[in-house]
């Protein structure tokens, strides 16, 4: 009997590994294909000869994007936006979710404010009113135009609110008996116990800020203020023909190795590579937070 159960478990494990392997390949192979296109020349890409390995290897698509000094300026703008934006998002999310996680007897207006925030997820003011407000408040061409309009992610706040409600109320009651105030309870009890949830929200916000290109396009008038995603979009959609006209014959010959498709592939790789490199560190922090939360919970 035990032998039959052991064989059944092995078959089940093999089936799971097979399915997970297929899903993993489905996620990785498109990225490898895009990477191969970004390092292939225009003739190979146009003729459809590029698979999972570059054909006629050339880095010209990357050099075109990095040849301009504004590339590194936009990279720094994105790093600054992620650092400031995630900090602001998480601070406001925590301070909003904590009081809304209280019982009705503790916070009588909890239901009203909860529905108030939820309604904003369904009905928004629209892009034009938001643009007018950002302009009238003098936020355009500043990093705050990219951070403050979405300073409170409602979905993240709802997720954290529900996580706070699941924490043992006895810990808060014991802290109140010991004379702890709300801020001390929040940052010394609720926040440490919520590390798994907070780590997940940090990942969501980091990816959201890094990949957003539309905010920089409508709120920034100067290219020097563009984040990386907006700058790469600008390079792809509106190439600098003045710079091309000033190139030497050798530089123009090298430009023939590039097509819009190879440039777009290079744009995708350059935009996602920093997040791909940083994610393992966030993932390790996330796993550590899961362990810490399970021990303290």
Which segments of the chain have a pLDDT < 50?
241-242, 289-297
Look up tokens 């050798």; give the residue: 250
Q: Containing domain of residue 96, as a range?
A: 69-239
Instruction: Write down the pLDDT at residue 242.
Output: 47
Look up tokens 């590579």; give the residue: 273
Tell whether 191 is covered by a domain: yes
Is 113 in a helix, a strand, or coil?
A: helix
Tell whether 293 is covered by a domain: no
> 227, 75 in Cβ contact below 8 A?
no
Tell me the per-residue pLDDT of 65-87, one tens digit each, with 9 for 90 and over.
677 677 788 889 999 999 999 99
Tell whether 146 is covered by a domain: yes
Q: How far is CA 231 from CA 57, 103, 141, in A?
A: 25, 47, 14
Tell me the per-residue pLDDT of 250-277, one tens digit each, with 9 for 90 and over.
555 666 667 777 877 887 788 788 777 7
253-254-255 Cα angle (round to 5): 90
Number of domains in the chain: 1
Instruction: Write down the pLDDT at residue 282.
Output: 66
Tell whether 288 is covered by a domain: no
| Helix residue spans in the chain (DSSP H) | 2-38, 42-46, 60-66, 70-100, 110-122, 127-136, 144-147, 154-166, 169-177, 182-185, 191-193, 195-211, 214-219, 228-237, 241-245, 249-255, 260-296
Tell whether 279 is covered by a domain: no
Domain at 144, CATH number: 1.10.3720.10
Q: pTM for this structure?
A: 0.77
> 215, 147 in Cβ contact below 8 A?
no
- Token code pair at residue 232: 């790469």
110: burial class by Cβ within 10 Å (0-12, 13-18, 19+)?
A: middle
Q: What share of the chain is helix, strand, coil (3-state, %, to 5)?
A: 75, 0, 25
Q: How far apart are CA 100 and CA 109, in angstroms?
A: 9
Tell whether 156 is covered by a domain: yes
Tell whether 212 is covered by a domain: yes
Give exposure, 224-236, as e/b (b: 16+ Cβ within 10 Å).
ebbbbbbbbbbbe
Give the single-character DSSP code of 224: G
Tell whether 226 is covered by a domain: yes
């Amino acid at each position: 009997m035990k032998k039959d159960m052991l064989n059944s478990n092995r078959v089940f494990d093999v089936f799971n590994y097979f399915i997970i392997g297929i899903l993993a390949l489905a996620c990785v192979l498109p990225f490898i294909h895009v990477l191969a296109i970004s390092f292939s020349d225009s003739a190979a890409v146009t003729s459809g000869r590029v698979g999972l390995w570059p054909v006629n290897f050339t880095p010209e698509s990357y050099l075109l994007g990095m040849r301009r000094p504004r590339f590194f300026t936009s990279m720094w703008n994105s790093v600054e936006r992620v650092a400031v934006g995630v900090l602001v998002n998480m601070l406001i999310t925590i301070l909003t979710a904590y009081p809304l996680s209280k019982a009705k007897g503790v916070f009588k207006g909890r239901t009203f404010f909860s529905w108030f925030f939820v309604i904003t997820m369904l009905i928004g003011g629209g892009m034009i009113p938001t643009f007018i407000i950002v302009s009238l408040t003098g936020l355009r061409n500043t990093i705050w135009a990219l951070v403050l309009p979405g300073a409170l992610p409602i979905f993240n706040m709802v997720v954290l609110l529900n996580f706070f409600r699941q924490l043992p109320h006895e810990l808060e009651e014991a802290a109140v008996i010991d004379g702890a105030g709300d801020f001390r309870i929040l940052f010394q009890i609720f926040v440490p116990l919520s590390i798994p949830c907070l780590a997940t929200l940090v990942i969501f916000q980091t990816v959201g800020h890094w990949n957003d290109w539309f905010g920089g396009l409508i709120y920034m008038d100067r290219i020097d203020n563009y984040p990386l995603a907006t700058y790469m979009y600008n390079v792809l959609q509106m190439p600098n023909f003045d710079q091309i006209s000033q190139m030497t014959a050798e530089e123009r010959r090298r430009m023939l190795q590039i097509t819009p498709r190879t440039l777009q592939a290079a744009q995708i790789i350059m935009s996602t590579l920093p997040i791909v490199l940083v994610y393992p560190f966030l993932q390790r922090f996330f796993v550590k937070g899961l362990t810490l939360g399970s021990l303290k919970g």
